[in-house]
Amino acid sequence: MHRATDYIHKLFKINNYDDPIYFSLEESAVGHLGGELYLDSLDYYYSALLSVGDALNGIARGRYSWSIVMLYYSTFYCARAILGLNSYGLVAVESKEYLIEVRDGQKLQKAHGHTTHDRVLKAFVEKFKNSMLLTEVNGDCSFWWMKNRRNEANYKNSRFIEPEVPEYFYHITKYGIETVILQYFLEHCNNNKYELTFQPEHAALAFPLLLLKRCRDAIYRNRKGLEVSEEHLDLCKQNCSMLLFEYFL
């Protein structure tokens, strides 16, 4: 279970709440809930990083369909991590999901969407409506563009596209994974000028990498840094390129 959800459940028991509408976050619980949400956010970041690593391994083997699915998942995990690092958590109470801001007196807010993925992404759009991370890709919000690519690979096509290379991976297969990662890293560190990141031929990888950078930056701003076990570090070394490992951990 997610730590923040588990702590909310404990607060329900302690205060004998019988309906989520009566819940109110007390000042004495703010610090603990914030700490649990921070640890959840580290988990989401770790999942996002491993998802990108799996995607790159898939691209190297010509497994493009599964790779775009994993890249989409990385954007979902990053969105949830960024929400958490900004004190917004999606928590489950009585089989329903709510959004909670970690602040004294806050209520559980109805989370909009049919699935957890929809609720997280819609919450991100609502809370960060002016963020450049919502820049459009080919007319769609960046997150929806990634989701649409996932849906194409998983549901809309009768078979996986392999051995053909989808257009959004042409650049990677032409120049090589390491070269392209460096290209995107340089852009993301260059005064917020994103000439490639939101272009449809680059966004499938460049956008998830930008989200990872934003997560990492937020983690180091909020606390001392990443708290990753040796076991998790070893797994990242095995599944991620050294560029990803050295830059994001």
**How many whole angstroms separate alpha carbon 205 and alpha carbon 81?**
18
Q: What pLDDT sits at residue 128?
A: 97
pLDDT digits (tens, 9 = 90+) for 81-114: 999 999 999 999 988 999 999 999 999 999 999 9
**How many whole angstroms separate alpha carbon 39 and alpha carbon 83?**
13
Residue 100 belongs to what H/E stretch?
strand 96-101
Q: Report cis status (omega within 30 of 0) of the bond before 166.
A: no
Q: What pLDDT sits at residue 70?
A: 97
**How many whole angstroms separate alpha carbon 131 and alpha carbon 207?**
13
Pick left, alpha or beta for residue 35 (phi over 0 → left; psi -120 to 50 → alpha; otherwise beta): alpha
Q: What pLDDT sits at residue 157?
A: 81
CB atoms within 10 A of CB 132: 13
157 φ, ψ (degrees, to nearest 5): -90, 140
Give the position of tokens 């997610």.
2
Write down the domain spans for the chain. Answer: 3-239
pLDDT digits (tens, 9 = 90+) for 141-164: 999 999 999 999 988 888 898 899
